[in-house]
Structure 1
């Protein structure tokens, strides 16, 4: 009997270890790679150790033909990206992301409004993904502007998934992944035009969504400093915790929700350098040009050059620094770990970074390990 108990106990330990390993393997650890020259980083320089999925960002849609634009230069970049990631680690999946924050939202709305134009777009996306060796497709439409456009988005997801499955069956190749970058909340409760994402269509036709849990504060409001990716906000619903819980409340399975983490900060110019907490009076943007944005690498450099004071804020689970009149709100390793722990408590699918090339010596990217 004693021997049996020892065997049973050993088996339980093995099962527990295996479960934890499977959870670790299943977690999505993703990042977007910007192809633009202002933040270019050679794909071969990406340390793929810290990621399970990497997104090429971005490819544009032609507003007249509804096909993806692939210039000769873009063709080279797409090929280099997939080849480099495959060489570094063939286990890492690559996806091509369509759109982005600077894309033409009106063109997306027009494309999604009719079945013929949706079909042209869908066929073009599958062709590009297969031609350049991607494992999946991602839509970053920022943002459908009204309930009608959200209804069109639902139709697009349904038809897109159907086309992807048909193509996989006919080509005898693994099905392409289909994901989307979405607002931090399923409901646009801050907008003059309230609308919500089609959660049912997302649930049944996408593999997961990347919730953009950042840019809550920025240059559009220079009256006071703020945590632009606050995990918690005791004064409002503009926070990551609210957005994640709202997405889960909309009926989206936990495994289909991926939390966004920023690798950049927003800056302000303090009104009084002696008053420097979150919510301190400000009179404009700080370092980082007209937009008041610094990559994490630039934040680290600014901190060192200016001997800045760095503060971790437990209330919002964020970090900020100040030096003279300059104030920067961002995430460092400590606040990133806090947010990843939150993701674990909610049992969601994982996290993604915007953007992989903004990190400093992989200081933030490695925290998920």
Structure 2
């Protein structure tokens, strides 16, 4: 098993860069772990595992046991090997009950203990190097406070388990909203940054999904800047740093997919124009698929300097995405801010590892 250090250890000196990606287990038939090119990554997250909504423990089916075992065994023996983390949770769109399950789990020490002990047990059993919490998203100030309690208790149990087994402590990370504050919500709330700074090895900041077909206005999926709005990665990452998170405990999220719209008028095809619904792919396309579509359709591709994003249009179809150029710019910005690294959502959506390779090459050591 590939070992790594504790939160205290990684926060001192100059911690190693994180070049990572989430691996959706739901696509394992078409994209098995053996297909991952580990030369571009340091860490890969298995996404996702869900706790029981009754016991808050992990009740694994035979199929899941096989998937977990295959994932860690395969990546441990790849050249080069990568560290693996087990990501718990996922988007509420896939499981509408998930936010409620997490809210209930964190509400008292006993249910938190059931969850934590079971998570550590599964991670060790299958040879993972760490655990990742993907709670999208705490819905109230109380849930945010309870999240802080969870992380404190989780870190304590990780240290205790490592000492008892004479092992290096498991990594503990979390996937979080692009901003430390939910300023767009009717319920004002902020992450418990002091607890996150103290107990996490790092946080994966989801710097994407800023615009999509849920709105009838076109916009960049992952704007680095935005002259008209605070919905952009610069604002979000700085809100975390200004709130007290050490830059070396922040990892910038990058999308390997685009958002699509159907334009109301094909002649109005810029950022901020009117759409009437989702475009190709039902509103979302992998980078691989959108690149093929753009080439085959002869779409016009536009680089938008104001937002550091790319969009394409052909007839009434409009796609917002990132390419090698915008990813390079974002990597440079992440390094200028002093961040720990970056992660992709999601592995298997790249085109012959084109974006992944460009990102890895762009991070200057």
TM-score by length of 1: 0.91
Question: Hey, what does 1:343 align to over in structure 2?
Answer: 334
Q: Deviations over 1:254-278 (max 9, x none)?
A: 1000010000010011122122111
- After superposition, give the CA deviation of every residue in 1:265-323 in whole Å (9 maximum; x if it has no partner): 1001112212211112212111112xx00011111111122111111111100111111
| Counterpart Cα distance in 2 of 1:74 and 1:331 | 33
Query: What residue in structure 2 maps to residue 241 of structure 1?
Result: 234
* Cα distance in structure 1, aligned partners of 2:301 and 2:255: 18
- 1:318 corresponds in structure 2 to 309
- Residues 262 and 235 of structure 1, relative CA distance in 2, 3 Å threshold: same
Contact residue 133 and residue 175 of structure 2 kept, 8 A: yes
Match of 2:348, SS? helix
Aligned counterpart for 2:53 among listed residues 63, 72, 78: 63
Question: Greater Rg, structure 1 or structure 2?
Answer: 1
1:23-42 residue CA offsets vs partner (Å, 9 max, x unmatched): 7x821101000000388411
- Structure 2 match to 1:276: 269
Q: Secondary structure at the match of 1:88?
A: coil
Calculate the TM-score normalised by the size of structure 2.
Answer: 0.92
SS of equivalent residue, structure 2 residue 142: helix
| Pick aligned residue for 1:163 from 153, 157, 162 | 157
Other structure's SS at 1:26 match = coil
In structure 1, stretches of 5+ residues that fail to align are 1-21
Q: State the alpha-carbon separation in 2 of the partners of residues 90 and 96 from structure 1.
A: 19
Within-5 A mapping of 1:35-74: 35-37=25-27, 40-74=30-64
Runs (5+) with no aligned partner, structure 2:
1-12
Aligned residues: CA RMSD: 1.4
Would the aligned equivalents of 1:39 and 1:358 in 2 still touch at CA under 8 Å? Answer: no
Matched, 1:124 2:114: no
1:257 aligns with 2:250: yes
Q: Summarize the alignment of residues 7-46 of structure 1 with structure 2, pairs less than 5 Å apart.
A: 26-37=16-27, 40-46=30-36
Which residue number in structure 1 is paired with residue 220 of structure 2?
A: 227
Partner residue, 1:10: none
Aligned mate of 1:149, from 130, 143, 151:
143
Query: Alignment length, in residue pairs?
Result: 344
Q: CA deviation at 1:91?
A: 4.3
List, as ranges, runs of 4+ consecutive aligned residues in structure 1 with deviation greater than 4 Å.
none
Q: Is 1:99 aligned to 2:89, yes or no?
A: yes
Distance 1:68 1:342 in 2: 39
